[in-house]
Amino acid sequence: MSMKRRDETGASRPLGRSRLAPSPTGAQHVGNARTFLIAWLDARCDGLEVVLRIEDLDTPRTKAWANDQILEDLIWLGLDWDVQVPNASQRENRYREILDLLRRQEQIYPCTCSRSEIEQSASAPHENSLDGVVYPGTCRERTSVDAQQLDEQGARYAWRFRFASGPRAWCDALYGEQSLEPARQLGDFVVARNYGPSAYQLAVVVDDHDQGITRVVRGSDLIFSTYRQLDLYRALGWDPPQMLHVPLVVGPDGKRLAKRHGDTRLSTLREQKVAPEKLVGYLAWSLGWLERPRPISPKELLSKLGDNPDWRSRLPRSPWVFRECDLFSS
């Protein structure tokens, strides 16, 4: 049960909103479960409403079957939510509305560069190290008038957000003060294409804003995207949510958990009759909440952590190495 605050009329209101925002691009695995568990506990500890939003924009990687499986996975894990909002793919008109606003403000420009053109021009190795290739700014001087011409020619292009120069700083609830110069170190980024759906960076900001999200808990691979999203919030005059990034789960080779590390899909664990409490207990142990892995439910964890309000600041900051056999033998 989420805690509620009573407003002046006596009606109860939640203290804010957090969200679970899985992408149905494949099966959810142990790494996703760990992030969901932290996000859910964080929200429930603070009496925030939990919103479930399926981010199904990434065509053609989005899989129809993965939608229902996400719900099964969450229910199996013992994580609940208060409201499920429409999938991102159903909100394209709203994203286009905001895109239009950004276009009128000349915050975005049409870019016709292909992926290989971008990769070739960004040749300096340091430019590739932070979060993908830094866009070299080839089309940066274009305006929305150029877009009209491109439309008339029937050309395909991406809308890129133009980062203003200078440093940006923000504070992550776990990793603390973050700062860099996005225009130089990240480069202008794609918010939509004139063919196909809007991009994640735009959709996530519009959705989090429209859905009243006040807290975002997600994997640390999105720390750099936060700079992009914060500049979008700023351009739109919206307040951003509080950000809490959590460390990723990696395989024994130090790379982000993937198929090559074995089958860690939650659906497989279910089929193999692994009890969800066993996985949750294992994750809780990996997060330093239990001295050794033992079966426990998210609800039991909630009461355990509820007595210990600074559990968030004590979360581990480095990635957790997952060894499949550990789970089956624990």
Q: Rounded to an integer, what distance in angstroms lies between the CA atom of residue 272 and that of residue 202?
A: 39
Is 73 near ligand GLU (CB under 6 A)? no
Residue with smaller CB distance to ligand GLU, 251 or 281:
251
Is 21 near ligand GLU (CB under 6 A)? yes
Contact assessment for residue 154 and residue 148, using Cβ atoms and an 8 Å cutoff: no
Question: CB of residue 223 vs ligand GLU: minimum separation in angstroms?
Answer: 11
Instruction: With contacts defined by CB under 6 A, name the span among 19-27, 91-99, 113-121, 316-324 that binds ligand GLU.
Output: 19-27
Least Cα distance to 102 among 239, 209, 196, 233 occurs for: 233
Contact assessment for residue 262 and residue 31, using Cβ atoms and an 8 Å cutoff: no
**Site of tokens 């992030």:** 35
Q: Rounded to an integer, what distance in angstroms lies between the CA atom of residue 300 and that of residue 297?
A: 5
Enumerate residues 219-258 that contact ligand GLU by CB under 6 A.
222
Contact assessment for residue 230 and residue 209, using Cβ atoms and an 8 Å cutoff: no
Is 55 near ligand GLU (CB under 6 A)? yes
Query: How far is CA 91 from its chain centroid?
Result: 17
Is 42 near ligand GLU (CB under 6 A)? no
Judged by CB under 6 A, how many residues of this single chain contact ligand GLU?
7
Is 103 near ligand GLU (CB under 6 A)? no
Cβ neighbours around 98 below 10 Å, total: 22
Is 283 near ligand GLU (CB under 6 A)? no
Instruction: With contacts defined by CB under 6 A, name the span among 9-17, 20-28, 99-107, 232-240 that binds ligand GLU.
Output: 20-28
Question: CB of residue 220 vs ligand GLU: minimum separation in angstroms?
Answer: 11
Residue with smaller CB distance to ligand GLU, 50 or 147:
50
Is 50 near ligand GLU (CB under 6 A)? no
Residue with smaller CB distance to ligand GLU, 139 or 232:
232
Is 23 near ligand GLU (CB under 6 A)? yes
Contact assessment for residue 203 and residue 53, using Cβ atoms and an 8 Å cutoff: no
Is 37 near ligand GLU (CB under 6 A)? no
Which residue number has the CB closest to ligand GLU?
218
Question: CB of residue 204 vs ligand GLU: minimum separation in angstroms?
Answer: 5
Residue with smaller CB distance to ligand GLU, 219 or 262:
219
**204, 244, 283, 287: residue in contact with ligand GLU (rule CB under 6 A):** 204
* DSSP three-state, residue 52: strand
Cis peptide before 241 (omega within 30 of 0): no
Sign of the dihedral through C-alpha 327, 18, 55, 87:
positive
Question: CB of residue 127 vs ligand GLU: minimum separation in angstroms?
Answer: 24
**14, 22, 187, 197: residue in contact with ligand GLU (rule CB under 6 A):** 22
Residue with smaller CB distance to ligand GLU, 110 or 251:
251
Contact assessment for residue 246 and residue 35, using Cβ atoms and an 8 Å cutoff: yes
Least Cα distance to 248 among 296, 319, 180, 330 occurs for: 319
Least Cα distance to 54 among 34, 73, 37, 41 occurs for: 73
Which distant-in-sequence residues (6+ apart) come within 8 Å of 158 by Cβ?
A: 110, 111, 112, 190, 192, 193, 194
Residues near ligand GLU, by CB under 6 A: 21-23, 55, 204, 218, 222
